[in-house]
Every structure is written in structure tokens, then in C-alpha cells.
Amino acid sequence: MGRHQHAENSGLISFIICAIAAAIMVKIYVEVAPPIWQVTRRMFTVAAGIVTFCGVSSFIVGYARNSNSLNLRRGWWMPVRRSIEIVALSVVYAATIFLAVFAIFGIITDMMGVRIFLGYLPWVSAAFAGIVGYITFVQADLMDAKTIASLLPLFVVSGVTTAGLTTDDPNWWHNNFSQLGDRTTFAATMFNATLILAGICIIIISYFAVSELLTTHRMRADWSRAHLPAPQVGDSNDHVDSIQRFRLRAGILLTLLVLLGVAFMGIGTFRYSPHPILHNVFSRGLPGIMCVLLIGLPWIAPQLSKAIYIVSDLGIVTCAIAGGFWLEGDNTLTNVEALAGLIFLGWFIVFSRHIAAIEADRVQAQIIYLQSIDTSAIQPARAPESRLASDK
């Protein structure tokens, strides 16, 4: 039985275990919870939390069970770094599962009614737990960068949609997005939490993206020193630069991406009414950092293709045009913020998928080259592997 078949079979076992566990936990909660915790949204929060717990537990087991780094054979730092990576990826999955499941609960309630749906809550939760348990286990066993990149829009859209549908201010969109989170209501809390989690996920994904760029560049530098023809990974203008200079570029790229993540977290942490100055610093600093990143992308990330540079420039031009219409009174600030946010998230997904493509090309190139040359000329640590592989 091959690796993919084994992952699918293990995923089915995870489906059964997670479904049974979630059904039992939600059923016990419904039966013994005090009346104050029988409020609809609190019940949905707990049920979504139980589903999230099952999904994240399945992911951790699937991701860590084959790891070759959770030991001291290569020093104490390797298991520590691997544990940090597992926790970071678990945060991404937890945020995605919780917000997506909570949003789906709200949609089903609108269709069936609260009284009817609450009677089915343990069994619906069991179904969702089984599904996410199956998906997370299989994805953990076959983890790559494209999988992580595909999760970001799902939970951002889920969180913002849930906040917009549950807010008690129907006219919030006439002003700006900050008004949606400028309260102490459930909808505002959901919106702000979504922004904070989005910022955390951006930082986590950025870490893996920049790590892959460094790994690819180091591989090409090794092959160049061994007088071997370096494979084409990334754009043709990406020559083998000195590792110190490339680390500087990668450091600048990571710093800008982290600042963007911090900006998202700051907008969600500091509401406008009690903290107008801090809120404006993060909200207005976001497009500035975004422009610096997109304009300087060809220099700080030369491994990317020309297509993503063109898309980045088009994003800046589009935001500038929308901002011009807003200044003339022909557009709302909400639309400008929504457009800028969607453009950045869309760009970040494209960026992450480009990094995943570079990773796939690197692994394929290593397999081909290491089969056709004397592998003793290259350090053993450069053996073919995915940056996110579960057995790394």
C-alpha cells in the first residue's frame, strides 16, 4: 500500500473517531450545560470549538506521527523548531475550522429555524467533526505549501460574513469596515477576532514561504559550488547570489509580511472608539506597507515570476483608482477598504502558491539531479524534501 492510500485509510479512521467523540461531547454539553450556556450563539461557539478540537487533534497526530525531527539525533533545536511549526500550523487550522463551522451553523439555522436545528446539533457537529478529521489527517500526511495557502481566504470570508450577518447595525457599510468591529457585540467580536487570526496566519505562512526561498537559494548555491548546472527554479533573472545578500532580501521580505500581519492584528485589537489613534496607525499603515512590498517585490523576491510582479503593480493601480473615486465622493471608504483587503489577500494567496510551485520544482529538480550525479558532492542535508513534509 502506497503513501497516498495509507493516508486515505488513516483519514477514514480519523473520520470515525472524530465523529463519535464530537457526538458524545456535544450531547453531554447539551444535556448538562447551565441555562446561561444554552443561548444559541454560545451553543454554536462550544459546538464549533469541539469540532475544532477534533480537527486540530487529528492534524497534530497525522503531522507528527511520521516526523523524523522530534528526537535529539540532530540536536535539541530540531525538535523545538518542529514543535513550534506544528503549533503554528495548528493555529491556522484551528482558526479556519472554527470560523467556517460557526458560519455554516448560522446558515443552517436561518434555513431550519433555531428550535429544529438545536435538536440536531450533536449529530451535525459529529458530521462536521468527522469531515474535518478526515481532511486534516490526510492533508497533514501529505502537507505542502499550496494546502496552507488555500486555507487563508476560507476563514477570512467565513469570519467577516458571520460578523456582517449577525451585526445589529444594518447601516455599518455606509461608513467603513472599522464600524463593523467598533462595538462590544458578538458580531464586532467575531470581526475583530477574524482580523487578529488573519494577521497571525499571515505571519505563520510568511515564515514558511521565506524559509522555502532560502532553502531553494541555498540548494542552487551548493550546486554552483559543486560546478553543477543549477536547475531552473523561479524566474530566469534569478541568478545565484551570495547567501548573505539573499538573506538580507529575504529578511526584508519577511519583515514587510510580518508588519502586514501585525497591522491586521492591530486593527482587530484596537477598536476605533476607545483607541482612535492606534486604530488609525494600523489601518492607514496597512496600505502603505502593502505598496512598499508590492513595488519592491522584484528586488526582494527575485525568484518569483514576472507575472506576479505585473499582478502586484495592477493591484496598486486599482487601489489608487478606487481611492481617487473615494476622494471625489463617488465611492465609499468601505468599498475602498474591501477592495484593498481583497486585493492583498488575493495577492497573498497567489504569492503563497508561487512559493509552493517553487518548492515543487525544487523537489523535482533534486530528484532528477541526485539520480544523475555523484551525490557525495552535495551535503546530505540537501536531500529532496518538502519544506512542510510531515516526515521531515
Q: Are 238 and 311 contained in the same domain?
A: yes
Residue 294 lies in a domain: yes
Residue 358 lies in a domain: yes
Q: Are 129 and 185 contained in the same domain?
A: no
Q: Are 171 and 138 contained in the same domain?
A: no
Domain count, the chain: 2
Number of Cα atoms under 13 Å in the Cβ half of residue 209: 30
Q: Are 114 and 250 contained in the same domain?
A: no
Instruction: Print the domain residue range for 9.
Output: 1-143
- Going by C-alpha positions, the residue among 271, 242, 159, 254 that lies closest to residue 212 is 254
Burial class (CB in 10 A: 0-12, 13-18, 19+), 31: exposed
Q: Are 287 and 171 contained in the same domain?
A: yes
Q: Are 132 and 275 contained in the same domain?
A: no
Q: Are the beta carbons of 239 and 224 closer than 8 angstroms?
A: no
Number of Cα atoms under 13 Å in the Cβ half of residue 37: 11
What is the end-to-end Cα distance of the chain in Å, rounded? 21
Cell of 279: 486604530
What pLDDT sits at residue 235? 47
Residue 210 lies in a domain: yes
Residue 226 lies in a domain: yes
What pLDDT sits at residue 229? 54
Encode the chain (392 residues) as per-residue pLDDT tens digits. 566 687 788 889 999 999 999 999 999 998 888 888 887 778 888 999 999 999 999 999 888 776 666 666 666 667 787 788 788 788 878 888 888 888 888 888 878 777 777 788 899 999 999 999 999 998 887 776 667 766 766 667 666 666 766 666 666 655 556 666 677 777 778 778 878 888 887 888 888 888 888 887 777 776 666 555 555 544 444 444 566 777 888 899 999 999 998 988 888 888 878 888 888 888 878 888 888 998 988 888 888 888 889 988 898 888 888 888 878 877 666 677 777 777 887 888 888 888 878 877 777 777 766 665 554 444 444 444 555 555 56
Q: Are 203 and 176 contained in the same domain?
A: yes
What pLDDT sits at residue 369? 65
